[in-house]
Amino acid sequence: MKDIEIHNVSKSYGKVKALSGISLEVDKGEIFGLIGPDGAGKTTLFRILTTLLLADEGTASVTGLDVKKDYAMIRRRIGYMPGRFSLYQDLSVEENLDFFATVFGTTVKENYDVIRDIYSQIEPFKERRAGALSGGMKQKLALSCALVHKPSVLFLDEPTTGVDAVSRRDFWNMLARIKASGVTVFVSTPYMDEASLCDRVALIMHGKIIDSGTPAQIVSKYPYTLLAVKGTPMYPLLKHLRGMDGVKGCFSFGAVHHVSIDSSKTGADEILAGISAAGFTGCEVRLISPGIEDCFMDLAGRGHKE
């Protein structure tokens, strides 16, 4: 059974098209990642699925219930954690949790086993006001509040934006445990490296799904050979690489450039020879396997040319 079904959903804000013809399916009990840059339409899609916004066109259902017709029933079955920390800063940790439990017609005691894993980590600070918590603890509290009524689908809109690397890893570990308890997790993120932690992902850009599938499937579809190229100075090197024969695309990835090449026209050795001859120093060229981000850049670039 599919927990989330989206058919041809479109939404415009005035003249700006936020979503156009989105179709997706999310299976029960999986972690599904919606991956795309800021402004791609992720939050809009979340707001439609959480019944906060109506789509202009198309239909969507969550746990088999229509987001338009059965919105009241959906609200009892989902947990939603918006991108910004949005709990009551002037209430204590415990009061926030109690409050959200009451609002959803349940008690913390009743569903304690659902949140125990996460809540036990912040329970020592339960007297503290939510506003005084650290970023990681705030996130744990928000997650506890979103889970306290035992939802069957959990919506997490950019939960790791602005969170440090350690807390991010912690967070994904928590998601894995939540998934293990049978909850479907629909999560959005602008971080491509988090894609591999999802069971399936959809890449979204300018309101359109540009690809979807398991991370392995997406990566396997990558059509080029990928090289990591190093050399100084960096920026002129990037421009030089883009002008070289057989180079399909070139993007800066931290300390190296990722260069996609048509292997029938050129190869690692030719590239290395070419840039050394052009006077770049410290040159290194390595064959690497592509990641989601490379796929995204390629797909996004192609979408741009079309």
User: Under the rule (CB under 8 A), what is the footprint of other proteins?
Assistant: 50-52, 72, 75-76, 78, 80, 82, 84-91, 95, 99-100, 102-105, 145
Pair 275, 241: CB distance under 8 Å: yes
**Residue 50, number of CB atoms within 10 A of its CB:** 21
- State which residue, 127 or 306, has the beta carbon closest to other proteins: 127
Least gap, CB of 170 to other proteins (angstroms)? 22
Nearer to other proteins, 149 or 200 (CB): 149
For 13-17, which contacts have Cβ atoms below 8 Å and span 24 or more sequence positions? 17/207
Nearer to other proteins, 102 or 220 (CB): 102
Cβ proximity to other proteins: between 12 and 23 the closer is 12
Element (H, E) at 13: strand 2-13
The Cβ-side half-sphere exposure at 215, using a 13 Å CA radius, reads: 18
Q: How far is the CB of 250 from other proteins (least distance, A)?
A: 40
Are the C-beta atoms of residues 25 and 192 closer than 8 Å to each other?
no
Q: Residue 20 or residue 51: which is nearer to other proteins going by CB?
A: 51
Cβ proximity to other proteins: between 76 and 169 the closer is: 76
Structure tokens at 48: 């439609």
Q: How far is the CB of 75 from other proteins (least distance, A)?
A: 5
Residue 98 beta carbon to other proteins: minimum distance, rounded to whole angstroms: 8
Q: Which residues contact 36 (CB under 8 A, 6 or more apart)?
A: 42, 188, 190, 203, 204, 205
Residue 129 CB, shortest distance to other proteins, in Å, is 8
* Amino acid letter, residue 175: L
Smallest gap from Cβ 105 to other proteins, in A, equals: 7
**Residue that the structure tokens 């989105």 belong to:** 22
Rounded Cα distance between 216 and 222, Å, is 10
- Cα separation, 50 vs 56, in Å, equals 15
Output the smallest distance, CB 60 to other proteins, in A. 15
Contact (Cβ atoms closer than 8 angstroms) between residue 10 and residue 20? yes
145-164-193-151 Cα dihedral, nearest 10 degrees: 0
Q: Which is nearer to other proteins, 86 or 173 (CB)?
A: 86
- DSSP 8-state symbol, 12: E
Question: Of the candidates 99, 200, 206, which has an alpha carbon nearest to the alpha carbon of residue 142?
Answer: 99
Q: How far is the CB of 30 from other proteins (least distance, A)?
A: 21
Closer residue to other proteins in complex, CB, 41/291: 41
Q: What angle do CA 152, 154, 156 make, to 5 degrees?
A: 175
